[in-house]
Amino acid sequence: MSNRREVIKKILAGSALLSSAPLLSSFTAMDKKIKRSTLKGNINHSVCRWTYPHLSVEELCKLCNEIGIKGIDLVGPKDWPMLQKYNIQSTMCNGAEINLVDGFAEPKFHETLISNYTKMIALVAAAGYKNLICFSGSRRGMDDETGWNNCVTGLKKLMPLAEKHGVVLVMELLNSKVNHKDYFADKTAWGVELCKRLGSENFKLLYDIYHMQIDEGDVIRTINDSSGYIAHYHTAGVPGRNEIDDSQELFYPAIMKAIVKTGFKGSVAQEFIPKNEDKIASLKNAVQICDV
């Protein structure tokens, strides 16, 4: 069998068959089918839209179907019909937030945020989706207690509507050390305490592995301790936010195994910024790394 495989490789490499497009395409199709079938199904794979700007939404949907990725993160209502065309889920909806800086920790933004989220919760539910991202915004000199109180005041006005429609507001944890200076929800423990104070299954956290490695480390222990409050995960390599291969410090197979062990049924979205020339290969490789 080993010799036979080598012969086939040599034949395909020969110039006599390079012009035989149907034969080559059939092998390519077979290879793609094999790759899809090898995904184990323990991780629901997703990818963040903004990290592949060189592809149209439709091209990204086609690529997702080829790889076995089930969803795309951070896509608004205008692109949902395209996702639905290709049976791709909007795994983390957006479009209600003001920005990353002006969030629920600051009361002066509550009126706008409540209006935006009231409209978007209904749209997310009508489309059959579940997760809607939100942000704490900047600290602006506030202590933790003030931030918790302000977030609770604003978010509690939305919880009955979210619960009614089965939509989960998911606050992303971001690092304040490198990328998002002064961001409030920069520690998992802070986000968990906010979840406890709100006391609703319709408010949870987006644990961004890249961001939390930078601000607190101890990733696997934190995931184990906080899994009940986490609705979604994002990936990226540390440092640099690039590919999650062995060029960076995190060992993603172990992290994914820890996530699976908690019983997590949500999605893990790739949010690295590909720096390799073959960006599609980087995404395929990332899915294989995380498919434990």
Q: From CA 250, how far away is CA 170, in angstroms rounded? A: 24
Q: From CA 167, how far away is CA 153, in angstroms rounded? A: 19
**How big is the chain by its Cα radius of gyration, in Å?**
21
Just give the CATH number of 40-290: 3.20.20.150
Q: What is the pLDDT of residue 130?
A: 98
Q: Are 93 and 125 in contact (CB under 8 A)?
A: no
Q: Could you report the per-residue pLDDT of 252-284, keeping only the tens digit for each?
A: 999 999 999 999 999 999 999 999 999 999 999
Strands (E), 35-156: 44-48, 71-75, 89-93, 131-134
**pTM for this model (two decimals):** 0.87
Amino acid at residue number 62: K
Q: State the sign of the Cα–Cα–Cα–Cα dihedral 269, 275, 281, 285.
A: negative
Q: What is the pLDDT of residue 131?
A: 98
Q: Could you report the per-residue pLDDT of 155-192, keeping only the tens digit for each?
A: 999 999 999 999 999 999 999 999 999 999 999 999 99
The CA angle 73-77-78, to the nearest 5 degrees, is: 110
Q: What stretch(es) of the chain map to CATH 3.20.20.150? A: 40-290
Q: What is the pLDDT of residue 25?
A: 38
Give the mean pLDDT of 107-133.
98
Q: Could you report the per-residue pLDDT of 220-251, keeping only the tens digit for each?
A: 999 999 999 999 999 999 999 999 999 999 99
Give the mean pLDDT of 84-101.
98
Q: What is the pLDDT of residue 38?
A: 79
Q: Kindly report the number of other CB atoms within 10 A of residue 285's CB atom.
A: 16
- For helices 144-156 and 188-198, the axis angle rounded to 10 degrees is 40
- Reading the block at residue 139, the tokens are 């600290």
Q: What is the pLDDT of residue 36?
A: 47
Helix (H, G, I), strand (E, B) or coil at 122: helix
Looking at per-residue pLDDT, the higher value among 19 and 219 belongs to 219
Query: Does the pLDDT of residue 104 top 90, yes or no?
Result: yes
Q: Could you report the per-residue pLDDT of 199-212, keeping only the tens digit for each?
A: 999 999 999 999 99
Q: What is the pLDDT of residue 174?
A: 98
Q: Could you report the per-residue pLDDT of 5-56, keeping only the tens digit for each?
A: 454 344 344 433 333 343 333 334 434 443 444 799 999 999 999 999 999 9
